[in-house]
Structure 1
Amino acid sequence: MAAGVSELLREIAELEEPLEELRSLKTAVHSLPLSILRELATGLRFGVLFGLLSSDDREQIDTCVAILDRLLQALDPVYMAQNFKLELQKGLQHSDDNVKILAMSQIGRIVESADAVPLIIGSPELLREMIHSIGGKKISVAKEAIQSLSRVAQSKAGLDALFMTSMLQDLKDVMGTNDVVRYRVYELVVVISSVSPVSLGYCANSGFIAQLLTELAGDDVLLRATAIEMVTGLAQSPHGRQYLAQQGTIDRISNMIVGADSDPFSGFYLPNLVKFFGNLAMVDSPQQICERYPAFIEKVFEMIGGQEPTMIGVGLDTIGILGSCIEGMQVLNKTVLGSRFHEVLKRLGNISCNAASDIRVRCLDTIASLLSLPNDQQTEDLLGLTESWFQTLHSHPMETFCNMSSQPFPEIHIGAIKIFTAIASQPWGQRLMISTPGFVEYIIDRSAEPDKPSKDAKFELVKTLVDSKTLAEIFGNQYYLQLRTYLREGPYFVKAIATVAVDGE
């Protein structure tokens, strides 16, 4: 078969219409392991295949792309950069998107190699084509270009090539294509900036970040929402947050939340403003963010209390994120917010029962997040906190969630099980379970779960119970042993039923 690959290539080179042979070659190269192809690749006539890409025959192009994609994977990145830079550059200029994607994906392989990257950096024309690929119509080509250029920028030499040469002007020229492409360049800049303070310095000095920040106050509310999303990405790194704070951007976004009440179009960008602070709280400090920017948490409470489904969903997700860590739980329970949060919990209970299905599911996930408390963090105060939150949700919360767990709607059913799992490691939760008639029998009954996701959710509940140090004491040895057996048998265990032969049958 290996010899057949070389022979087919020789035949193809001599034919005017080689489609049939190309089909055979495609089958051959995909049937050989890469280890064999590596032994063959450097001796093959790649020029023949690259040349056949200059055709109007779509099947011929697609077949060549499939063959080249397989063969080029077998080549060492340094060898490929040394021998096929011109072909890859032409591939980026090709009219067919599949050829462009092939070229960009192979460049992506090259720039993953520290030894091969300098060969790309030293090829201005290839870099220029990569930059212009960001402006292509095909989003998959643009994404590959962004990814590859961000890898080029991993080194100082790469940063210099992109930001200290004429390539910088190329990036700015590409930005002028349209709004969509401008934000693709911002995406590249944010990815590069996140790597290190040095990378951020290059991007800031280029003027790109300042331009992005001005977009926060743009007239187009949809573009403003996208700009906020980009700035949220910039805030993921410590040096990025420091830069935004120094520029006054975080204060400005807080003021935008305050001013949103008087803007009839704020619904387009307000969710992203809240997500910005939600992400900031998690990567920084929930306490500091909530105390320094009270407009944020006030707006979250207001969203949950409103009637707009999109706003409710964002508010739910944000509260779930905040309450997923001890510091966030304590912030929500503080005197300043505690009484307000008590009302929010009642609202969560109402939403979990009465909202549209998708919002109910998000609400159940939020409740589970708020009530979760790992074994090593179960202090008396925190256990008392989660118990009080649970009891605030409904007048009879255990009964309410048990009813949900028996409903035929899979996502609601699983959402209720997640809440049981959240409280399953906490002694007060276990006491509620054992005192609820039929509940432990429901846990042990495998037939109650109709599908794989439900079985997996039930198994996670059983595992959480068994891993708890208080289970045997609260549930008693009989149930403790049954639950351990359930855990040992796994989520999909089916008990064999013995059959008895009857005379005459």
Structure 2
Amino acid sequence: MEDLSSILSNLSLSDNKEKFLGEVKPSLSALTRAKITEGINSVDLIVLFDCLNTDKERQIEYTLDILKYLFSFMDPAIIIEKYGELMKHGLSHPNTLVPICILKQMERCARDDELTGMICQHPIFLPALRLLKADLSVYSEVSKFVLQVAETTTGARILLGAETVAELHLLGSLNEVIKIRVLEVAVRISQLSQEHLDEVDRVGLLQPLHELIHVDDILVKLNAVELVTSVALTHQGLRFLENNGMISRMEEILQSSRQDPFADILIPGLIKFFGNIAHLRPKLMIVQHPNFMDCLFSMAESSDLTQRAIAFETIGWIGVSLEGKVTLADLGNKMSHCIEKLEDLIRDSPTEIRIRGMNAFSSLIKLDKENQTNEFLSITESWYKRALGNRGSPMQLLVGIVKLPFADMRLAVYGLLNNIAKQGWGRREILRFPGFPELLLDRSTERDKDGKDAKYDLIQSLVESGEAKEVVGAEIDGRLREYSRLGAHHVQVQSQVAYEGD
């Protein structure tokens, strides 16, 4: 392709490559996509790779921009075939932008089973894998590439083959930080499927989990707890932890951590771990591991507002499901006493904590229409009154927040009110509160898109029930329906009359 070839030839002859590269992009943009696609495979990009052999940051950035642009027109297989060795050399470039660019091209190959086999058998593969020990930004890109490889049949077979696994074990032996990185990649692969988990476990890549949760180094232990939590997010991972006695060991750590000098740092991570399990299997977790619930309820009364927020977020996460709601309700006075502490969090805390408290309660009280039996409606209504009605009317608290000049808080309370409005007792609470329907109908109270949408969703829930007319009368019901019909972003146009002499 003559035009592109001419541009690259001039680059090779230029004495000031940085300046020339800065001026090349407009010239390339002037070429049609059809022309570049037609001729890209016949030109040589080595001159661009040569421009990376510098410590001039601007020159490197210009070169990478052009390479990425031209690579987007090329088959990734041809890129690896023609420039694989140069790319391998670029992985060790001291400027992290270079290996990151190369890894992104490798990731393109890893999206196809056939190309994955090609990239995994190329000499570039193992050097790329070794970058798990590199700068954090590079490590992040390597982990994306490895996960992409693992998602293909060919890639998973090579990645968990003897040579690659030996390399991963060797990397993990360098220090605790790299060991955790390798383990994090192994955990993410294990989340893909039962087959992936079985293979990752078979080759021993999950073994460090058993060791790291018992180390004295608090930072290492925190990372280990987080990784075990990630394993528990999938059903196959949870079975793995049960079969290996890891859940019992984590409970032992939870019990002993109360006396740990780093308890404030460690306990929230442990609570998150058990909370995720309780989300998947509420009855099993709460009944068989009472120490977890005791610790959770204790956190809900902590003087530390962040810990209290975590406790209620965990309770909300458990109570999202029907089984979770029933299991929590079956705790009787323990649950009732705990949830009464939520009102103080929502009333008197800093803005971020108040929002977290409202979102947590919104999850706990949510009940889909098909599940609204008398039993579940009774549970959610009783929690509403206990959680928000200790220092006055629950609606008085929520309406007070709607009137505040803080958009994020209003969004949180709209979400909570919307979940309440989808239940009969909740709709009556909202519609009967003096002045609140009129406040909702005032379009001037919300100025931005998110606020308008959130308020509209609440009004929709009130209208769709068909009960508003019975509760507040025909006039308000008609105005609510008109608001719904006109949409969230309707603007009332006010006519103006011009008088002579104005």
TM-score by length of 2: 0.94
Would you say 1:344 and 2:343 are equivalent positions? Answer: no
Q: Distance in 1 between matches of 2:35 and 2:490?
A: 43
Q: Which residue of 2 aligns with 1:208?
A: 205
- Contact kept? 1:29, 1:71, Cα under 8 Å: no
- Contact kept? 1:130, 1:145, Cα under 8 Å: yes
The Cα of 1:414 is off from its aligned counterpart by: 3.0
Q: Which residue of 1 aligns with 2:475?
A: 478
Q: Which residue of 2 aligns with 1:135?
A: 133
Greater shift, 409-418 or 145-154, is seen at 409-418
- Contact kept? 1:135, 1:181, Cα under 8 Å: yes
Aligned residues: 499
Would you say 1:288 and 2:287 are equivalent positions? Answer: no
Q: Distance in 2 between matches of 1:33 and 1:341?
A: 67
Aligned counterparts, 1:99-498, within 5 A:
99-123=98-122, 125-137=123-135, 139-155=136-152, 157-282=154-279, 284-334=280-330, 337-393=331-387, 394=389, 395-498=392-495
Greater shift, 298-307 or 479-488, is seen at 479-488
C-alpha distance 314-427 of structure 1, shift in aligned 2 (>3 A): same
The Cα of 1:479 is off from its aligned counterpart by: 2.5
Q: Distance in 2 between matches of 1:433 and 1:17?
A: 71
The Cα of 1:35 is off from its aligned counterpart by: 5.1
The Cα of 1:488 is off from its aligned counterpart by: 2.8
The Cα of 1:146 is off from its aligned counterpart by: 1.0
Write the letter of the residue equivalent to 1:289.
M
The Cα of 1:30 is off from its aligned counterpart by: 4.5
The Cα of 1:136 is off from its aligned counterpart by: 0.9
Q: Distance in 2 between matches of 1:239 and 1:409?
A: 42
The Cα of 1:496 is off from its aligned counterpart by: 0.6
SS at match of 2:36: helix
Q: Distance in 1 between matches of 2:30 and 2:314?
A: 50
Greater shift, 213-222 or 256-265, is seen at 256-265
TM-score by length of 1: 0.93
- Contact kept? 1:30, 1:70, Cα under 8 Å: no
SS at match of 2:113: coil
The Cα of 1:156 is off from its aligned counterpart by: 5.1
- Contact kept? 2:418, 2:457, Cα under 8 Å: yes
The Cα of 1:274 is off from its aligned counterpart by: 0.9
Write the letter of the residue equivalent to 1:245.
E
C-alpha distance 30-189 of structure 1, shift in aligned 2 (>3 A): farther
Q: Distance in 2 between matches of 1:28 and 1:441?
A: 60
C-alpha distance 460-378 of structure 1, shift in aligned 2 (>3 A): same
CA RMSD of aligned residues (A): 2.1
Q: What are the Cα deviations for residues 16-71 of structure 1, in whole angstroms up to 9, with x where unaligned?
A: 43333322322233455655532232122211111221223332222111100111
Would you say 1:42 and 2:38 are equivalent positions? Answer: no
C-alpha distance 35-113 of structure 1, shift in aligned 2 (>3 A): farther
- Contact kept? 1:351, 1:363, Cα under 8 Å: yes
SS at match of 2:124: helix
SS at match of 1:134: helix
Write the letter of the residue equivalent to 1:109.
R
- Contact kept? 2:297, 2:338, Cα under 8 Å: yes
The Cα of 1:152 is off from its aligned counterpart by: 2.1
Q: Distance in 2 between matches of 1:35 and 1:146?
A: 34
The answer for unaligned runs of 5 or more in structure 1 is none
Q: What are the Cα deviations for residues 117-154 of structure 1, in whole angstroms up to 9, with x where unaligned?
A: 1111212x3121111111112x2211111111222233
Write the letter of the residue equivalent to 1:57.
K
C-alpha distance 250-35 of structure 1, shift in aligned 2 (>3 A): farther
Write the letter of the residue equivalent to 2:356.
R
Runs of 4+ aligned structure 1 residues displaced above 4 Å come to 30-36
C-alpha distance 15-503 of structure 1, shift in aligned 2 (>3 A): closer
Greater shift, 161-170 or 317-326, is seen at 161-170
C-alpha distance 402-18 of structure 1, shift in aligned 2 (>3 A): closer
Q: Distance in 1 between matches of 2:11 and 2:31?
A: 19
The Cα of 1:373 is off from its aligned counterpart by: 1.6
Write the letter of the residue equivalent to 2:132.
I
SS at match of 1:93: coil
Write the letter of the residue equivalent to 1:320.
G
Q: Which residue of 1 aligns with 2:74?
A: 75
The Cα of 1:4 is off from its aligned counterpart by: 3.3
C-alpha distance 312-461 of structure 1, shift in aligned 2 (>3 A): same
